[in-house]
Structure 1
Amino acid sequence: MELTPDERGNQRNVLPNQPPESSHPNLDFEQHSSEQMSEVERWGSLLTGGALVLMGLQQRSLRGALMAIAGGGLAYHGATSQKGIKETVTEAVGLDNSIRVEKSVTIFNRSPEELYRFWRNFENLPMFMKHLQSVQVIDQTRSHWVVDAPVGNSIEWDADIINEQENQLIAWASVEGASVENSGFVRFKTAPPGRGTEVKVVIEYNPPGGQVTANLAKLFGKDANQQIGDELRHFKMLMEAGEIATTEGQPSGRRGEN
């Protein structure tokens, strides 16, 4: 960094091994106090997070599960972070940190028209999206979604198709006030000759419980990138082979394709 003329003219020679005189006599005291306060805040995060976990588990409900997840995140940050408790709590419960996932896959021997028709009937989606319990088509643009949630619970919301290009694109968004704010699109594009169809999925959502929920899910191997990637691979297997190979090596065939 280049010094200004004033800074160059006022430089002082500092003797070896001798720290410069501080122009702020209380600096060391303030730094020490700040370190002590950070330590207090970290312990506060640990204790508050632990209490939220206990309270959440005792409720045995979806709300309790989310409380426990947020509490676990708060305790985790208290143990590992230098942030103050106010920042940590804001991160734990905030919904402003949306998550964006973008994945693509190439499906052989299937045209965009075939894949579009299958996906466009949203009731087919639970066949390869294992976290989906059900999707009910209400009318031409609206559908009702039910997904798995912690502690054996479920989360539900309605979504509308907001843009559609036949055989090419389906875009959707959750309705106002949905329990999970989300939007996204799936695009079907002819691949180079002999390679079938490229399928691209982009999803953006705000997880219940904020960013900490997503971070904890990632720690346990259930982050959105992995999940969407797995589901696209399942879609590929289902479309190419008519079945999905399970972890035990046994196939899982189509269940009532419409």
Structure 2
Amino acid sequence: MWCPLGFANFLEIKKAIRMILRSEEAYEKIHEIVYWRFDDSLPYWKQLEAANKSLTIECFREFFFTCPSLSVFSDAGVSLRISPKVSEIIVFPQAKMDFAFIDPETGIISKEHLKKIEAAAMPTVLDMRSRIDEIDSDNEAYQDYCEITKIEDALETWENISNFEGWAVGCSMSDIEMLPTDFMCFDLTGPPRGLMLQQPDSFAPKCPNLKQAIIEAFDKGEIRSKQALWKELFSDESREAFRAAWAEAAEERPEISKRGPKRLNLNN
């Protein structure tokens, strides 16, 4: 695989995203996903594994669809910006994922790889289509069906991408210098509406006005990230209480939840 000086190749992009997925913020998000989707019919480790796969897919998708410098490079040294559709991800049931057009081992746009994904996906597509009434009645199964049938869209899209077969995929090195706070899919969303009424003890804050305390911490420049603020200033609060108060604070002060690092008070 090849990229000009100053550009990261596909394997470097994957490595950077994998590092993000090992962060404390990713750990928090994975456990949040399990908390809100808890299924006592599955072992906890399986739920963690499923949440990790779900977050991994969202992270890859968000990066490629927001990366401003996503490009392809020929072995002759030509480079061209390209649509994020080149990074189309096919998700199989149980959250197994693969890139439709990019060989994940080489980072090269490959029709052979697309054919492998088609061969792997189509039996499942046809089986699910034969049970479409059953699939329609199950929300999770329907989502699985929508994801895996993207292989059919990818086969049609190939005509627009085929001119770049054999080209490498990459982006500017500066675009892989990422923080977890750069990803919207890492946002800690807090409890679903109405859940606080169902579980008052889980969400009752110890601080008399936790929302206002978060806003004051923001005004003082004491917020590096949501997780850091919780651990450094409000560690005696439950995750649930803190997330609920953060969501309320962000409604009053939207800038609190903006992506990227928070302002710091350098005079402290």
Shared fold (TM-score, shorter chain, > 0.5): no
Tell me which protein shows more strand as a share of its residues: 1
Q: Which has the larger radius of gyration?
A: 1
Return the TM-score normalized by structure 2: 0.21
